[in-house]
Amino acid sequence: MNAGTHTVDLKKSDAAEALRPGYFARRNAWDWVFALLVVAGGAYAYYLFAEFMDVYEKSILIGTVPSLIALAWFWRPLRQLTVVVAVLSLTAIWLYQVDGVGVPERADEAFLLKYFISSQSAILWMSVIFFMSTAFYWFGIFSRRNADAFESIGSKLTWVAITLGLVGSFVRWYESYLLGPNMGYIPVSNLYEVFVLFAWLTAAYYLYYEDRYQTRRMGAFAMLIVSAAVGFLLWYTLVREAHQIQPLVPALQSWWMKLHVPTNFVGYGTFAIAAMLAFAYLIKQSAAETRWWKLAPLWLLGVILCFEPLIFRRGVADAGISYWFMYFGISAFIVGGIMMARRRIAERLPSLEVMDDVMYKAIAVGFAFFTIATVLGALWAAEAWGGYWSWDPKETWALIVWLNYAAWLHMRLMKGLRGTVAAWWALVGLVITTFAFLGVNIFLSGLHSYGEL
């Protein structure tokens, strides 16, 4: 391309940009209706609860209104999700009322609460439907005639599961207030609650990339990590009865928790998506490979992924051990099946370039949010313990996670890191992140030991 042609292209691009409608002019009627609903809901919440909130909580509420509007305008499927979640959550709250007073016992009396939209019912439905959505995505991978139909069902089921996960979280928030005037808190305080958060948040981020790249063929791998999280959640519910709402420990009675934990899990969720797409990348890349020494690293990865859950059986009852051995068996079957059928799977996966791009963007988003979460955590630590950093095991491993992805992004942007090395590095990042998230709670102790297994 010569300089004259390049100049003409730039002029055409500038002209097209000049003719493009402004930001607000691109909003349709439903965007404005949604914005009015959010503003009205925020104003009503402020009217009802302002006297019970401090200045920080008021700021969070006020800031949430424009943030939610902007997010839903950016990705329009969030409009419907927000409205449906609001309707179901408010319905659940209404069903708890007897003569204008919330009664916890209604969870076992009202049909809809008992079987669908109490927090525990909604979260259990979320778990089952996430398993179903993962299965349908895999049906799409292996089907030769109905692949698109199966993947479409998988995508729709994922939306349903996210909806129920959000409803379960919001209703659990309300239920915590029913147990006592000083017990209410946002449900992100223990492993049970944050695994629910991780499941629906990770799935929602995957659906954004699915919509952005107009392909559902990444879902089979992306949803595996969500199903693994749900498997842990069900075990934790069974063995620890973690679904029971407990009083908040004093160190967590802070408005910082409302900001620090959700921001952290945006990072965890996007790092997990990047790792699963890295796994898919390596499967597609090795589809035609027959030499065993070339495939050995992937088989080794499969063994590690299968055996990793067995560390959770440390110190649990026989029922818990049986569960994790069953989990190991299912994991081994899945990983072995993926390796044996890698050629068929590779045919259905998007191009290597698409998966590499999504992997990069997921890590970039996760790194930004993880950085913000780390700063917020330091500010919270200064308020709670009198210092910004104490080299607590959780803090140390959070720093290791941050340095790992900082190095990955540096190599990507400065040295053009792509392909196999980037994919393996992203998978190593998942191992590091998993240890920072769970391993520290199992094997180490410290100021952050709120969610022991």
Predicted confidence (pLDDT) per residue in 28-61, tens digit? 999 999 999 999 999 999 998 888 888 888 998 9
Q: What would the mean pLDDT of 316-335 be, rounded to a whole number?
A: 67
Residue 268 pLDDT class (50, 70, 90 cuts)? very high
Above 60 in pLDDT, residue 17? no
Does the pLDDT of residue 131 top 90, yes or no?
yes
Kindly tell me if the per-residue pLDDT of 117 is higher than 70.
yes
Amino acid at 236: Y
Task: Give the pLDDT score at 290.
Answer: 64
Distances (CA, A) of 208 to 75, 381, 406, 408, 447: 8, 33, 24, 23, 35
- Is 98 strand, coil or helix? strand
pLDDT (0 to 100) of residue 305: 59
User: CA-to-CA distance for 431 and 276, rounded, in angstroms?
Assistant: 12
| Mean pLDDT in residue range 338-366 | 93
DSSP state of 436: I
The answer to whether the beta carbons of residues 348 and 280 sit under 8 Å apart is no
Is residue 315 scored above 50 in pLDDT?
no
What is the C-alpha separation between 303 and 284, in angstroms, rounded? Answer: 19
Dihedral sign from CA coordinates of 217, 212, 352, 282 = negative
* Other CB atoms within 10 Å distance of the CB of residue 139: 17
Are the beta carbons of 376 and 260 closer than 8 angstroms?
A: yes
d(CA 228, CA 217): 19
Residue 136 makes CB contacts below 8 A (sequence gap 6+) with 150, 151, 153, 154, 157
Q: Where would I find the beta strands (DSSP E) of 342-382?
A: none
> Residue 10's pLDDT is what?
47
386 dihedral zone (left: phi>0; alpha: psi -120 to 50; beta): left
Look at residue 329 in the predicted model and tell me its pLDDT: 74
What is the overall mean pLDDT for the chain?
Answer: 86
Residue that wins the pLDDT comparison between 77 and 243 = 77
Q: Which residues pair with 16 in a beta bridge?
A: none
pLDDT band at residue 440 using 50, 70 and 90 as cut-offs: confident
Q: How confident is the model at residue 324 (pLDDT cuts 50, 70, 90)?
A: low
pLDDT classification of 95: cutoffs 50, 70, 90? very high
